[in-house]
Amino acid sequence: MGIEHNIPKYYLYSFFGLLNFFGPIYILFFQAYSLSLTQIMLFMTVYGVVEIIFEVPTGVISDYMGRKKTMIVGAFFIFLEPLTIVVGHEYWHFIMAYVFLGIGSALLSGTDESIVYDSMIQMRKKRDYKKIYGTYIMFGQIGLIISALVGSYLFEINSKLPYAATAVALFIVVLITMTFVEPKRKMPSKKLYKHMRESIGALRNSRLAYLVTFSILISMGIVLSWFFVQPYYKLVGLRPEQFGVALAVGYIIAAIVARNAHKIEKRLGAKSLIAMPALIVIGYLLLSQFSFLLAFVFFYIISFAQGFSYPILNDYINSHIKSHNRATVLSMNSMIGNVVLAVVAPVMGYIADVYSVQATLLLIAVVTLLLSIALLPKIMKKKA
């Protein structure tokens, strides 16, 4: 098969990779083991620290060894995460699961994007990347929709069944990665120190540095919502079996928006960058102030932000990186984000345990607003 078949495979990779049947219940699952939100958030610290350690080395491996081989190994480690939770029953077993997830994520981080972006360069269709990446996110959201609707019912049958089903889906991802075609590209310098110097130099580009910082801020606002959505559902009175449907609606919104993100960006122009944090701040502010039953719909504002932000920011960042060190630079970007997540996640979990979920949501809104006000003028100036 030719290089053009990497695109539909990328969509399947996204779909099966996000068939996370444990999504609607993972907080409930760990709370059933008498774990606090702080302890659950510490899983993200473990994940973040492991990914930080492996992030840049695996990006270098991807640039040197090749995208396809790196993806196969990474997908296998991701598969080990739900498998370990299925067979495990103690806290350290769950810790190991997140160690595997961290290693796998580090291997895939930047690599899966690079294989497609480089494929499109070879196909001379680079300008279509925002559309392709938006479709990629849409397929992932479809996977999330299906697994959200089914996961709650699997949990009712057996608490570990959602993780077992996810393990099956992720094994299919391993098989899909084996079918990718390695795109042609300029190989990095044989001198590793020179390659690293060039990659770090790329991040010193002030435009790219501001975009990376801004993307981490936006991602943090979106990712944190994933951890607090289930405690908030409980707060407003949703029953566990309703979690899946409520989440599915959010995934549908994100999927539709992601598929049309390039069109929305074309209409908004430079205001696209303002819209991203504005949506997140508004969503968190409303969630922090209201707790009636239907208040959970305010999470859908953040779902809209997710669908819009990821394909646009991803394209902005990739357009500033050269192919031969793309995976390394993207890995550095991911590493910085994981440093932030490893610190922020348990702190937010602790605040939620000591004070309240809504107090935490208000804090996220305020921090996002203040940092956006500081960053946006610099990015908009550079864009102009």
Each residue's pLDDT tens digit, 210-260? 888 898 899 899 989 988 998 999 899 998 778 888 988 998 999 899 889
The answer to whether 84 and 96 are in contact (CB under 8 A) is yes
The answer to whether 347 and 220 are in contact (CB under 8 A) is no
Each residue's pLDDT tens digit, 138-181? 899 899 889 988 998 899 899 999 999 999 999 999 999 999 88
**384 three-class SS:** coil
Q: Above 70 in pLDDT, residue 329?
A: no
CA distances to 180, 246, 254, 260 from 220, rounded to whole Å, are: 30, 21, 16, 23
Q: What is the DSSP string of 203-220?
A: HTSHHHHHHHHHHHHHHH
The answer to whether 2 and 119 are in contact (CB under 8 A) is no
Strands (E), the chain: none
214: in domain: yes
189: in domain: no
| pLDDT on residue 331 | 66
Does 91 or 189 have the greater pLDDT score? 91
190: in domain: no
From the list 253, 246, 256, 251, the residue with the least C-alpha distance to 294 is 246
Task: Supply angle C-alpha 178, 131, 312, rounded to 5.
Answer: 105
Domain that holds residue 336: 3-183+195-383
**179 three-class SS:** coil
Each residue's pLDDT tens digit, 342-376? 788 889 989 998 999 999 999 999 999 999 999 88
Q: Above 80 in pLDDT, residue 183?
A: no
The answer to whether 330 and 106 are in contact (CB under 8 A) is no
Each residue's pLDDT tens digit, 285-324? 999 999 999 999 999 999 999 999 988 888 877 776 666 5
100: in domain: yes
From the list 321, 345, 324, 323, the residue with the least C-alpha distance to 333 is 321
Contacting residues for 93 by C-beta, under 8 A, at least 6 apart: 84, 85, 87
Sign (positive or negative) of CA dihedral 348, 102, 147, 304: positive
Length of the chain counted residue by residue: 384
- Please, what is the average pLDDT of the chain? 85
Amino acid at 7: I
Q: Which residues of 18-44 are buried (b: 16+ CB within 10 A; e: fewer)?
A: bbbbbbbbbbbbbbeeebebbbbbbbb
- Residue 354 tokens read as 């000591």
Q: Above 60 in pLDDT, residue 38?
A: yes
CA distance 167 to 210: 37
Q: Which residue has the tokens 């081989």?
A: 69
| pLDDT on residue 384 | 45
Secondary structure (H, E, C), 50-83: HHHHHHHHHHHHHHHHCHHHHHHHHHHHHHHHHH
Q: How many CB atoms lie within 10 A of CB 7?
A: 17
Contacting residues for 167 by C-beta, under 8 A, at least 6 apart: 79, 82, 83, 86
From the list 24, 29, 33, 19, the residue with the least C-alpha distance to 159 is 29
188: in domain: no
265: in domain: yes
355: in domain: yes
131: in domain: yes
The answer to whether 136 and 128 are in contact (CB under 8 A) is no
Burial (0-12, 13-18, 19+ Cβ within 10 Å), 51: buried
Contacting residues for 27 by C-beta, under 8 A, at least 6 apart: 37, 40, 227, 230, 231
CATH number, domain with residue 13: 1.20.1250.20
Q: Above 60 in pLDDT, residue 201?
A: no
State the total domains in the chain. 1
Query: What are the φ and ψ backbone dihedral angles of 336, each rounded to 5 degrees?
Result: -60, -45
| pLDDT on residue 200 | 54
Q: How many CB atoms lie within 10 A of CB 293?
A: 9
